[in-house]
Amino acid sequence: MGRPLRAAGTIKPDARSALIVVDVQNCFVDGGTLPVKGGADVVPVINKLASHFQNIVVTQDWHTPGHASFASTHAGKKPFETVGLSYGTQVLWPDHCVQGSEDAALHKDLKLPTAQLIIRKGFHRDVDSYSAFEEADRKTATGLAAYLKARSIDTVFVTGLATDFCVAWTALDARKLGFTTYVIEDATRAIDLNGSLAAAWKQMAEAGVKRIQAGDIA
């Protein structure tokens, strides 16, 4: 089935809406330790979107040295292989977004004047954390859901990097927690590891995540 057609500029975020900007960090753009193809291209799109939102939340991958998700932590393992950890199968990544490094810094050109909160994730050494709402053990909450609900926010618009990992996990958790959830496709870029992008969009569609473009926002 094709995506439903809608007139451009018909979705108007209000005081109960939040823009979530996921992991737009140096590590995920060209020159970083885990670059997503075209990652920096989301920055001007997100900056333009930011003017429509009273509420913005930013996430930041913030790993310890020797993090469990790093291939270098596991003898004989290479990046993009998998390993079994206590909470399930973990994709292993190059060392990236290490706390306090320039690699972990937010992209310098981001302009988000109404951003009020940065959620740092992946700082527990033994647990990876893709979603802005919950760590990969599926038990440890970040507190974002309670923050949004305390602000009477019921709708989230997810952008950032990467579509098929941290963006998708964030969107799926938002739906599970009862938020109306949009992913702004042209404000994201994907890793697309072994078909992960198509699988992520399928999963998000089945969960009721709405797939839109930046031009749909008024």
Q: Which residues are catalytic?
A: 23, 121, 166
Joined tokens for residue 28 = 């995920």
Q: Any bridge partners for residue 98, and if so which?
A: 63
Cα dihedral: 184, 136, 34, 148 (round 10): 40
Grouping H, G, I as helix, E, B as strand and the rest as coil, residue 157 is: strand
- Cβ atoms of 197 and 163 closer than 8 Å: yes
Q: Any bridge partners for residue 157, and if so which?
A: 19, 182
Q: Any bridge partners for residue 52, and if so which?
A: none
Grouping H, G, I as helix, E, B as strand and the rest as coil, residue 161 is: strand
Query: For the stretch 141-176, what's the b/e string if a residue is b when 16 or more beta carbons lie within 10 angstroms of its beta carbon?
Result: ebebbeebeeeebebbbbbbbbbbbbbbbbbbbbbe
Which of 185, 215, 210 has its CA nearest to residue 48?
A: 215
